Amino acid sequence: MNDIKKELTKRYIKDIKSADVWSVFKIIADFVKGFDELGDLGPAVTIFGSARTNEKDFYYLQSQKLASMLAARGFNIMTGGGPGIMEAANRGAKEYNVQSIGLNIDLTKEQISNKYTTKELNFDYFFSRKVMLVKYSISYVIFPGGFGTLDELFEALTLAQTRKIIGIKIFVVGVEFYKPLLEFIETKLYANGMIELEDLQMIRLTDDLDTIVKEVEESLSNQIEVLKSVGLEETNYYKSLSEFKNNSEVLQERDL
């Protein structure tokens, strides 16, 4: 582990000491890669969570189950590409004819690519990777996790609060796990006027996977309306969402 840390430290020092222009090129490369590979993805749900859970963990199994339920309805699944909750989600998605995407990043430990992805991209920077995780999804599901997971949760909430993303559902799974955090947000942030009531209501805390699937499908309709309202009906993303929704409605009518 010490050797790994030394190597990453050397790389970090090299990055910050190198000419800024080369850092800009690397950043651009990250974004171009993401936009190029994910631009025509279609409806996707991003699932976040700890890299440290094993396959017998309750939330690992719930993540796998939820991903399977969503993938069975045609939704692509996107994760950070690592083990634990991320692996579980990719594993559940790979059972179906959808994209099981992993967006990986080089870390000192834990971030080993899982084997259940159908498409894998590697990023140099956290912020460019994070953009891709949220940009091409219609909903985010946050399972229990550590600092990285909490960072992703609050990043999503900040984007929604500032209206940088609109019509997105943010689900937090693990009522027992996250209840103290939600109580803190309510009794400290909201009670002291640091956030509004509508900000508090953005967080959908639930362990009901059926409810999540239902509301994800509703989120699809919301996203289509938002894109239409701002004149993006001719974009590939709008067309892919609309086509997906129309196909889903045809299948539902057929089942009836």
Express each pLDDT in 32-72 by its tens digit: 776 766 767 888 999 999 999 999 999 999 999 999 999 99
Quick check: is 47 in a domain?
yes
Instruction: Kindly list the distances between the CA atom of residue 244 and the CA atoms of 134, 148, 240, 249, in Å, as whole numbers in the listed order.
Output: 19, 31, 6, 9
**pLDDT reported for residue 187:** 97
Quick check: is 34 in a domain?
no
Which CATH number is 109's domain given?
A: 3.40.50.450
**pLDDT reported for residue 110:** 47
Burial class of residue 89 in the structure, from the number of CB atoms within 10 Å of its CB (0-12 exposed, 13-18 middle, 19+ buried): buried
Residue 36 has which token pair?
A: 């190029």
Quick check: is 26 in a domain?
no
Quick check: is 8 in a domain?
no
Quick check: is 19 in a domain?
no
For residue 101, the enclosing domain spans: 39-255
Quick check: is 176 in a domain?
yes
Quick check: is 21 in a domain?
no
Under-70 pLDDT residues of the chain: 1-23, 25, 31, 34, 36-37, 39, 106-111, 249-256
User: How many domains, the chain?
Assistant: 1
In angstroms, rounded to a whole number, what is the distance separating the alpha carbons of residues 81 and 48? 10
**pLDDT reported for residue 165:** 81
Handedness of CA 140, 173, 129, 83 (dihedral sign): negative
Quick check: is 20 in a domain?
no
